[in-house]
Amino acid sequence: MTHEHDAETVVDSPDHWRDEQTQRIVQRIDDLRQSIDNVDMAIIALLAERFKYTTQVGALKAAAGFAPADYKREDYQMERLHRLAVDAGLDPDIAEMYREFVVTEAKKRHRRIAEAGGDPGILDIFA
Ligand SMILES: C=C(O[C@@H]1C=C(C(=O)O)C=C[C@H]1O)C(=O)O
Protein backbone atom coordinates (compact mmCIF):
# COMPACT_ATOMS: atom_id res chain seq x y z
CA MET A 1 0.00 0.00 0.00
CA THR A 2 1.46 3.37 -0.98
CA HIS A 3 0.39 6.95 -0.52
CA GLU A 4 0.67 10.02 -2.68
CA HIS A 5 3.17 12.49 -1.20
CA ASP A 6 2.83 16.24 -1.25
CA ALA A 7 5.83 18.49 -0.84
CA GLU A 8 5.07 18.88 2.88
CA THR A 9 7.38 19.13 5.85
CA VAL A 10 7.27 15.63 7.35
CA VAL A 11 9.19 13.92 10.12
CA ASP A 12 10.56 11.27 7.79
CA SER A 13 12.43 13.65 5.48
CA PRO A 14 15.85 14.50 7.00
CA ASP A 15 16.03 17.75 4.97
CA HIS A 16 13.79 19.25 7.60
CA TRP A 17 15.86 18.27 10.65
CA ARG A 18 17.88 21.46 10.54
CA ASP A 19 18.48 22.57 14.12
CA GLU A 20 19.09 20.68 17.35
CA GLN A 21 15.66 21.34 18.75
CA THR A 22 14.07 19.83 15.65
CA GLN A 23 16.37 16.83 15.99
CA ARG A 24 15.24 16.34 19.60
CA ILE A 25 11.61 16.54 18.54
CA VAL A 26 12.22 13.99 15.77
CA GLN A 27 13.89 11.66 18.30
CA ARG A 28 10.90 11.99 20.64
CA ILE A 29 8.47 11.29 17.80
CA ASP A 30 10.51 8.18 16.86
CA ASP A 31 10.24 6.93 20.45
CA LEU A 32 6.50 7.56 20.50
CA ARG A 33 6.12 5.76 17.17
CA GLN A 34 7.83 2.70 18.60
CA SER A 35 5.23 2.61 21.37
CA ILE A 36 2.42 3.21 18.84
CA ASP A 37 3.71 0.21 16.85
CA ASN A 38 3.78 -1.90 20.03
CA VAL A 39 0.17 -0.93 20.79
CA ASP A 40 -0.86 -1.84 17.20
CA MET A 41 0.84 -5.23 17.63
CA ALA A 42 -1.11 -5.88 20.85
CA ILE A 43 -4.39 -4.74 19.30
CA ILE A 44 -3.96 -7.07 16.29
CA ALA A 45 -3.21 -10.01 18.62
CA LEU A 46 -6.25 -9.16 20.77
CA LEU A 47 -8.51 -8.77 17.74
CA ALA A 48 -7.37 -12.17 16.46
CA GLU A 49 -8.30 -13.70 19.83
CA ARG A 50 -11.64 -11.87 19.95
CA PHE A 51 -12.65 -13.12 16.50
CA LYS A 52 -11.60 -16.67 17.39
CA TYR A 53 -13.96 -16.51 20.41
CA THR A 54 -16.84 -14.93 18.49
CA THR A 55 -16.42 -17.54 15.73
CA GLN A 56 -16.85 -20.26 18.35
CA VAL A 57 -19.98 -18.49 19.61
CA GLY A 58 -21.21 -18.36 15.98
CA ALA A 59 -20.70 -22.10 15.52
CA LEU A 60 -22.52 -22.84 18.79
CA LYS A 61 -25.41 -20.53 17.82
CA ALA A 62 -25.69 -22.23 14.42
CA ALA A 63 -25.69 -25.66 16.08
CA ALA A 64 -28.49 -24.59 18.43
CA GLY A 65 -30.45 -22.68 15.75
CA PHE A 66 -29.98 -19.28 17.45
CA ALA A 67 -29.94 -16.06 15.41
CA PRO A 68 -26.51 -14.48 14.68
CA ALA A 69 -27.37 -11.23 16.53
CA ASP A 70 -28.19 -10.82 20.21
CA TYR A 71 -29.36 -7.25 20.82
CA LYS A 72 -29.71 -7.57 24.59
CA ARG A 73 -26.04 -8.54 24.76
CA GLU A 74 -25.17 -5.63 22.45
CA ASP A 75 -27.02 -3.14 24.69
CA TYR A 76 -25.07 -4.42 27.69
CA GLN A 77 -21.76 -4.08 25.78
CA MET A 78 -22.65 -0.56 24.60
CA GLU A 79 -23.32 0.66 28.12
CA ARG A 80 -20.30 -1.15 29.56
CA LEU A 81 -17.79 0.05 26.92
CA HIS A 82 -19.07 3.64 27.27
CA ARG A 83 -18.40 3.48 31.01
CA LEU A 84 -14.98 1.82 30.56
CA ALA A 85 -13.97 4.46 27.99
CA VAL A 86 -14.91 7.36 30.27
CA ASP A 87 -13.00 5.76 33.18
CA ALA A 88 -9.97 5.21 30.92
CA GLY A 89 -9.95 8.77 29.54
CA LEU A 90 -10.97 7.64 26.05
CA ASP A 91 -13.59 9.50 24.00
CA PRO A 92 -16.65 7.19 24.30
CA ASP A 93 -17.41 7.83 20.60
CA ILE A 94 -14.20 5.93 19.79
CA ALA A 95 -15.27 3.04 22.04
CA GLU A 96 -18.64 2.99 20.26
CA MET A 97 -16.98 2.97 16.81
CA TYR A 98 -14.79 0.07 17.92
CA ARG A 99 -17.82 -1.84 19.32
CA GLU A 100 -19.89 -1.26 16.21
CA PHE A 101 -17.03 -2.44 13.99
CA VAL A 102 -16.21 -5.69 15.84
CA VAL A 103 -19.82 -6.68 16.53
CA THR A 104 -20.88 -6.02 12.91
CA GLU A 105 -17.99 -8.13 11.61
CA ALA A 106 -18.66 -10.90 14.16
CA LYS A 107 -22.32 -11.09 13.08
CA LYS A 108 -21.36 -11.22 9.37
CA ARG A 109 -19.19 -14.21 10.20
CA HIS A 110 -21.95 -15.82 12.25
CA ARG A 111 -24.23 -15.59 9.21
CA ARG A 112 -21.59 -17.19 6.99
CA ILE A 113 -21.13 -20.02 9.52
CA ALA A 114 -24.91 -20.58 9.70
CA GLU A 115 -25.12 -20.60 5.88
CA ALA A 116 -22.35 -23.23 5.83
CA GLY A 117 -24.40 -25.42 8.15
CA GLY A 118 -22.48 -24.49 11.30
CA ASP A 119 -18.98 -25.14 9.96
CA PRO A 120 -16.56 -22.42 11.20
CA GLY A 121 -13.89 -23.93 8.94
CA ILE A 122 -15.21 -21.76 6.10
CA LEU A 123 -13.59 -18.77 7.82
CA ASP A 124 -9.95 -18.12 7.04
CA ILE A 125 -9.22 -17.04 10.63
CA PHE A 126 -8.71 -20.68 11.61
CA ALA A 127 -6.00 -21.04 8.94
C1 LIG B 1 -20.65 -12.99 19.86
C2 LIG B 1 -21.98 -12.89 19.94
O3 LIG B 1 -22.79 -12.58 18.83
C4 LIG B 1 -22.98 -11.25 18.34
C5 LIG B 1 -21.69 -10.54 18.37
C6 LIG B 1 -21.30 -9.89 19.52
C7 LIG B 1 -19.87 -9.50 19.74
O8 LIG B 1 -19.09 -9.46 18.78
O9 LIG B 1 -19.50 -9.26 20.91
C10 LIG B 1 -22.27 -9.59 20.50
C11 LIG B 1 -23.57 -9.93 20.36
C12 LIG B 1 -24.10 -10.63 19.18
O13 LIG B 1 -24.92 -9.76 18.40
C14 LIG B 1 -22.71 -13.12 21.19
O15 LIG B 1 -23.94 -13.24 21.15
O16 LIG B 1 -22.05 -13.21 22.23
What is the spatial distance between Cα 74 and Cα 104, in angstroms, rounded to a whole number?
10
For ligand 1, is residue 73 a contact (CB within 6 Å)?
yes
For ligand 1, is residue 96 a contact (CB within 6 Å)?
no
Instruction: Using the mean position of ligand 1's atoms as its centre, give its distance from the Cα of residue 1 in Å.
Output: 32
Tens digit of pLDDT for each residue in 92-116? 999 999 999 999 999 999 999 999 9
For ligand 1, is residue 103 a contact (CB within 6 Å)?
yes
Flag whether pLDDT at 126 surpasses 60: no
What is the spatial distance between Cα 26 and Cα 83, in angstroms, rounded to a whole number?
36
Q: Which atom belonging to ligand 1 lies closest to the Cα atom of 57? A: 1
Tens digit of pLDDT for each residue in 19-75? 888 889 999 999 999 999 999 999 999 999 999 999 999 999 999 999 999 999 999
For ligand 1, is residue 81 a contact (CB within 6 Å)?
no
**For the residues 5-16, what does the mean pLDDT come to?**
71
In a 13 Å sphere around the CA of 74, the CA atoms on its Cβ side amount to 14
Flag whether pLDDT at 123 surpasses 80: no
For ligand 1, is residue 95 a contact (CB within 6 Å)?
no
**Contacts of 91 by beta carbon, 8 Å cutoff, 6+ apart:** 85
pLDDT band, very low/low/confident/very high, at 10 (cuts 50, 70, 90): confident
pLDDT on residue 17 = 62
CATH 1.20.59.10 describes domain 51-126? yes
Q: Is the complex ipTM higher than 0.95? A: yes
What is the spatial distance between Cα 3 and Cα 22, in angstroms, rounded to a whole number?
25
Picking from 95, 65, 101, 60, the residue whose alpha carbon sits closest to that of residue 81 is 95
Q: Where are the domains of the chain?
A: 51-126
